[in-house]
Amino acid sequence: MARYTGPRTKIARKFGEPIFGEDKVLAKKNYPPGQHGLNKRRKTSEYGVQLREKQKAKYTYGVLEKQFHNLFDKASRAKGITGEILLQLLEGRLDNVVYRLGIAPAQQPVSLCSTATSWSTAKLSTSHLTQLSPAMLSVSVKSQSLSK
């Protein structure tokens, strides 16, 4: 599975928020990266604001453009408010559920351990592990003892 492996601090400085967790560099250099980072920015257009929010969601949940596009298509076909359904789909991903449960220390390396065989799921095959709700996830006794 592909994931972003570039400089995380630069992305956090780009948005001005600690997307990948607390960062000492962001506290010191609270301006965008690059040669013209300290210069005043122009007012961003509505499209620029929407693009920035989309990119922020992609980096926060660790998905690439193709995965995000597929989730958006699924959310737009469903009944209800598309934005809320999209966030529900992103929050329901296995790597995010494992992170929210506190089993994984950070959101980025969760993808590496989410395919491990120590996770037990109720009546699910490995092809269904990409989308889980927190109610469907059950942690084995061995995994619970490791997290304490």
* H or E, element range at 119: strand 119-121
Residue type for 67, please?
Q
CA gap 111, 102 in Å, rounded: 14
Tokens of 141: 């006794």
CA-CA-CA-CA torsion for 10, 13, 14, 19, nearest 10 degrees? 90
pLDDT at 68: 93
Strands 137-139 and 119-121: antiparallel
Q: How much is the pLDDT for 124?
A: 39
**pLDDT at residue 29, as a whole number:** 79
Residue 104 DSSP label:
S
For 112, left (φ over 0), alpha (ψ -120 to 50), or beta?
Answer: alpha
> pLDDT tens for residues 88-138?
999 998 888 888 888 877 665 554 554 443 444 433 344 444 555 555 555
Q: Output the six-digit token pair for 122.
A: 């109720």
Residue 117: the pLDDT is 39
For residue 142, what pLDDT band results from cuts at 50, 70 and 90? low
Q: How far is CA 2 from the centre of its chain?
A: 13
pTM to 2 decimals? Answer: 0.62
Amino acid at residue number 104: A
The pLDDT of residue 140 is 53
Token pair 């990266």 is found at 33
pLDDT tens per residue across span 1-47: 567 777 777 888 888 787 777 777 777 777 778 777 777 777 889 99
Q: What angle do CA 69, 71, 73 make, to 5 degrees?
A: 70
3-state secondary structure of 114: coil
pLDDT in tens, 54-98: 988 888 888 889 999 999 999 999 999 999 999 999 999 888 888
